[in-house]
Amino acid sequence: MKTGRTLLVALAVIVAGILLAKLRVNPYFYFAGYVILQYIVIATAWNILGGYAGYVNFGTPAFFAMGAYTAVFLIRSVHAPLPVLIVAGGLVAALLGLGIGYLTLRLRGTFFSIATLALAVVLQTAIINWEYVGGSRGLSVIRPSGPPFGNYVVFLFTVMGGLAVVSVLVARFIERSWIGRGLAALRDNEEAAECMGVPTLKLKLFATTVSGFFLGVAGAPFPYYVTFVEPNSAFALDYAVNALAMPMIGGTTSWVGPVIGAVLLGTASQLATVTISSEMNLFIVGVVLVAFVVLAPEGILGLVRKLRGR
C-alpha cells in the first residue's frame, strides 16, 4: 500500500477507536481490548529488533516495567498527566535500550540475549529496593478524575489504540526505509553487511533504542490501568513469552506479522483466562510457539504467502 493510503487507513482506525469509545459497548470489551492493543505495541516494538535485525530480546519485561515505573515515579512526585508519562516512559526505556545495546551489541547476538535476561534481574532487584515507588510491597495509584469519554478505562483503550497505530506506522516506516534494508542485510549476514559498508553498529543501536522506546510506551499507562503496581506483575514472564511468540506466530519480516500475532494470541489468551484453566492456556502457548517455530518459521504471513503460491 502506498504511504498515503496507509496514513488514511491509520486515521480510519483511530476514528473507529474513538467511535467505539463513544458507543459504549459492553465494558468488558475495553478491558480486554486494552490488553490486546498493548500487546500490539509490545509485539511491534520487539519485532523492530528481533524480526528486522535478528537480535532476540528476552528482557522485554525490563523495558515494559521501566515504562510503568517511570510513570509511577512521575505520578507520585508531580502528578504528571498521561501524555507526559507516556513520553517519559518511552524515553527512559529507550535509554535503557541504548545502554544495553552499547554494552553488548559489539558482540554476537546470543550475548545480547543473555545480557537482556541479566538486565531484567538487575532492574527488578533495583525496583524491589526502591521504596519510593513501592518496593516489593507495591504502590496503589489513583486514577485522575474527569477523563475524556467519562470512564478512565475507555479513555486508556483509545489512547492505547492510538499508540498501537503510531508504533505500527513507525515500524512500517523503518521497514521500508534504508534503515530497514540495512537491518535486513545485517540480519542475514552481519559480516557481509559490514564488508559492504553497512553501518551495522549504528543500525543496531538505533533498533534497540526504538524498540526500547515503544516497549516503555506500552508500559507507561499500565499503572492507571491496574491501579496497583508491584514488581512481580510488572516484570512478569508473560511479557517476555508473548513478545516473542506473537511476532513469531504472525511472521517477523513485516509489520503485519506482529499485529496478526498479537490479535490472535492476545484474543486467545483473554478468552482462555475466562474459560479454561490458565495453566492449559500457557501450555497451549508453548506448544503453539514450538510448532510454529519448527513447522512454519515464517509465521502466518509466510503460510499465507505459500498458499498464494509465491
* 264-303 residues near other proteins, rule: CB under 8 A: 264, 267, 270-271, 273-274, 277-280, 282-283, 285-287, 289-290, 293-294, 297, 300-301
Distance CA 157, CA 269 (A): 18
Binding mask 228-247 for other proteins (x = CB under 8 A): x-x-xx--xxx--x--xx--
Which residues pair with residue 229 across a beta bridge? 139
Minimum distance of other proteins from residue 221's CB (angstroms): 12
15-44 residues in contact with other proteins (CB under 8 A) are 25-33, 35-36
> Are residues 115 and 122 in contact, defined by beta-carbon separation less than 8 angstroms?
no
Distance CA 42, CA 151 (A): 24
Which grid cell sits at 57?
Answer: 530480546
The SS3 call for residue 43 is helix
80-99 residues in contact with other proteins (CB under 8 A) are none
79 binds other proteins (CB under 8 A): no
> Which residue in 121, 132, 148, 196 binds other proteins (CB under 8 A)?
121
Distance CA 24, CA 250 (A): 30
Size of the site for other proteins (CB under 8 A): 88
Minimum distance of other proteins from residue 245's CB (angstroms): 8
Nearer to other proteins, 213 or 224 (CB): 224
> Which residue in 78, 137, 146, 191 binds other proteins (CB under 8 A)?
137
260 binds other proteins (CB under 8 A): yes
Distance CA 161, CA 7 (A): 15
Tell me the Cα Rg of the chain. 19
149-208 residues in contact with other proteins (CB under 8 A) are 153
**Separation of CA 291 from chain center:** 23
